[in-house]
Structure 1
Amino acid sequence: MGTAAKFKVADFHCDALSKLQAEPDIDFNNDHRLDVTAERLAAGNVGLQVFAVYLSGTLGKPRFERILGQLELFRKRIICGEGLRWLRWKEETVVTSAPESAWAMLSLEGVDGLEGNLFYAELLFELGVRFLGITWNYANWAADGVLESRNGGFTEKGRQLIEWCNTSGMLLDVSHLSPAGFWELAERSTRPFIASHSNAAAVCGHPRNLSDEQIKAVIAMDGRIGLTFVPWFVRNGGGAKAEDLLKHIEHVCSLGGSRQLMFGSDFDGIDAWIEGLEHPGKYTELADLLLKHYPEDEVKGWLHGNAMRFLSTQLPSRVYL
């Protein structure tokens, strides 16, 4: 086994649950209709995969019951047998670095399906969800998304959601949030947040990427930025190769963010892929590429260590209950 193959990986965003909900006959173990499969996670030495609950508009109006449906898929199809273990508590991060361990977490991408009901948010926390992405690209009951032309911030109920998250231990994710919403959250939140799958706008000018000022704000609070593998977020015009990610790494590091950098692939949320990074089994090749350009300690941090250090301090403690 080469050096890179020994490096564990934490990936903070994939949309496999949406595909499993849309196509119930998909086999999570090895069905290549999925980017993320159990086989590919093992091949890429992915020690932590965050599974997003995303309610695609193609399946109808967002409802809480559809969120519950994806949670049940996660429990029955992802966390089963001797495969992935469910990471929910700060205390569990102590054992995640073990060579044989592989873990999964749950996030919500867009709070639309909570239907403006904070009790539903509390219930999701009790059911094991640990990250809330506030919006997808457009407006919902809590805030505006990044493609909403008015660029509004949070609603009053959205501000109540921020306060509840800060006190409960639910972590917040600003990928897809409007610029105005980002800055309002930065002002109101008492805890650091993440951008689970966003790149540097200075390198690729897509509106889903973060400005230098936003990157600096996340760095200052010791949040996390998960570089994503969406080709048109990596290189203007798309057609990206794995080497194009290095420009984003260089840029975030130039702003002081080496210890805040991680990855959030967006596998299964895309229908085009970076050449050489088509699925999580390719993470060992990414590690090889990174090791050609950067010190081993930094590469380990980007692939796994930075993410786990964040979780070890920011996840709620089991004594919460």
Structure 2
Amino acid sequence: MKIIDLHCDALLRLEEAKGSLNFANAPELHTNKERLKQGNMLVQCFAIFIYPEIKSDQKFQVALEQINYFYQEVLGKNPEMKHIKEWSDFGRLQDGEIGAMLTLEGVDAIGNDLTKLHTLYQLGVRSVGLTWNNGNLAADGAGEPRGGGLTLFGKEIVQCNNEHKILTDVSHLSEKAFWDVIELAKYPIASHSNSKTICDHPRNLSDDQALAMFKSGGRIHLVYCPPFVKEDGFATITDLLKHIDHFCSLGGVKQIGLGSDFDGIETFITGLEDASKSQNLINELLKHYSEDEVRGFAYQNFLDYHVFRS
């Protein structure tokens, strides 16, 4: 079954390697082209991520370097990888092709300059998370003790996302910032988050948050990072299914997707060690859900999102 994966950190790995990794088959990459094909990936989203400790005046350049690797290494050397620039591009993918979409994990790179955000839109970014775990000029992240909400600048970013039909990603936000986004965003999404009820981790979503996402029409994409799956950090596919079961019990069966976080995690769910193993999850899901429901989790729920129709 085809899969749309809303989050990986391959661009960070390519940028750190400074050209020494071949996206086609580098064993160091969980989401290299060979593994994406083996996992039957329909679309892989590639996050732009900038470490908070990088100097502020260097962050936008690092973002551009990661985008350059996306264009040169992911797309340029692999004609089967097709750039998803517009929502209509999803429907144009042919057999044997894999869509590739840019996302932004934290707006640190733009400082307080919306022109830089518009530049990233023009380069293909179609989903924007306001922060990583830190606080920045837009919002506080899940790891920021202050726990603040969106700043005025953060609210401007959400409005820009709305105007350009860009997804606003809540996965790393503080709880207060999450609620600010829910109030403002036309296209909210959690690119890689699980249920806090099943695993009490600051990066996961409470039932109230999940219900708000479902009420808004948003999507929650399950993450494969073991500490977000099970509190002892040793997780199986069955443990991940508990999160899907719980979100379904809240009425989200049509609003659940997948967001692996491959190339951004160092430990793995047993049987989900890289993108090539993705069908292990599909096979396990098919034991518990109908084929239509599993197809929804794998890709169709995302393709049914109202961003594609509005």
The bucket for the TM-score relative to the shorter chain is over 0.9
Q: Aligned residues: percent identity?
A: 41
Residue of structure 2 equivalent to 1:221: 216
Q: Does 1:120 align with 2:116?
A: yes
89, 92, 95: which one aligns with 1:92: 89
Give the superposition deviation at 1:58. Answer: 6.4
Give the 3-state SS of the residue equivalent to 1:225 in structure 2.
strand
3-state DSSP class of the match of 1:292? coil
CA shift digits 1:236-265 (9 cap, x unpaired): 110101111110010000000011000000
Determine whether 1:180 maps to 2:176: yes
Unaligned runs of at least 5 residues, structure 2: none
Residue 213 of structure 2 corresponds to residue 245 of structure 1: no
SS at structure 2 position matched to 1:64: helix
SS of the equivalent of 1:131 reads strand
State whether residues 143 and 181 of structure 1, in contact with CA within 8 Å, keep that contact through their aligned partners in structure 2.
yes
After TM superposition, list the pairs within 5 Å mapping 1:58-77 onto structure 2.
61=56, 63-77=59-73
Structure 2 residue corresponding to 1:198, chosen from 181, 193, 196: 193
TM-score by length of 1: 0.92
Structure 2 residue 298 is the aligned partner of structure 1 residue 264? no
| Separation in structure 2 between the aligned mates of residue 35 and residue 135 of structure 1, nearest angstrom | 24
* Residue number in structure 1 paired with 2:207: 212
Structure 1 residues 287 and 56: CA distance shift in structure 2, 3 A? same
C-alpha distance in 2 between matches for 1:37 and 1:308: 23
C-alpha contact (below 8 Å) 2:24/2:33 kept by paired residues = yes
Q: State whether structure 2 residue 13 is matched by structure 1 residue 19.
A: yes
The whole-number CA distance in structure 1 between the counterparts of 2:215 and 2:245 is 18
Separation (CA, whole Å) in 2 of partners of 1:156 and 1:57: 21
Aligned length: 307
Query: Paired residue for 1:3?
Result: none
Change (3 A) 1:277 1:53: same
Offset of residue 60 of structure 1: 5.1
Distance in structure 2 (CA, Å) of the matches to 1:42 and 1:212: 35
1:109 alignment counterpart: 105
Q: Greater relative contact order (Cα 8 A, min sep 6): structure 1 or 2?
A: 1
User: Using the alignment, how far apart are the partners of 2:27 and 2:88 within structure 1?
Assistant: 34
Residues 204, 266 of structure 1: alpha-carbon distance in 2 compared, 3 angstrom cutoff: same
TM-align CA RMSD: 1.5
User: 1:315: Cα distance to partner?
Assistant: 5.1
Residue of 299, 308, 321 corresponding to 2:303: 308
Question: Within 1, Cα distance between the matches of 2:142 and 2:253?
Answer: 25
Equivalent position amino acid for 1:73 in 2: Y
Instruction: Using the TM superposition, give the Cα deviation of residue 56 of structure 1 relative to its aligned residue in structure 2, in angstroms.
Output: 2.5
Matched, 1:10 2:4: yes
